[in-house]
Amino acid sequence: MVCTGQQTQTYAPPLGPLPKPTVVSLDEDLTCVGGPFLTGHGTGTFIQQSSCLLPPPESTVLPLYSITYQWSNGQHSTITYTVTAVVQAGNQNVVTATGTVTSGYAQGSVVERQVTTLDLDVLSCLASNVDEQNGSEILTLLL
């Protein structure tokens, strides 16, 4: 099953140029094919080292995080992820994570999540004023 859509990330405190502990809240709207439902809405909140300018060092182990998806047929899935890659290229930031459905629909299945956001303006980043980013998402659930 493949879902695509948009997601919004909010940050508290706002992101700045250097990584710091940040509460990240996610809100996602997805359209799906290949499964028993057409749409889904995901939410999650977690703390991680975040920056609007620098990806985490490769040696950094980012904590697990969970997102709960409410599907249009009334089912839900909670998926626990670990970030496997953070790539900043040009004005895009691509975060890839793999995970497992820990409860609900497709429990035990493997999932890949890829989110692409555009970097905001550098002045906002340098002033530590980046409190939200929007981007596209591809969610692949291996049933």
Structurally, how many domains does the chain consist of? Answer: 1
pLDDT at 60 over 80: no
Q: What token pair was written down for 70?
A: 């409410």
Banded model confidence at residue 59, pLDDT cuts 50, 70, 90: low
- Distance, in Å, from the CA atom of 65 to the CA atom of 62, rounded to the nearest integer, reads 9
CB neighbour list of residue 80: distance below 8 Å, 6 or more residues apart: 64, 65, 66, 99, 100, 102
pTM: 0.91
CB 99 within 8 A of CB 80: yes
- In terms of residue numbers, what domain contains 27? 2-142
Q: What token pair was written down for 18?
A: 């250097």
Q: How far is CA 104 from the centre of its chain?
A: 19
Q: Within 13 Å, how many C-alpha atoms sit on residue 39's CB side?
A: 6
Q: What is the pLDDT of residue 61?
A: 63
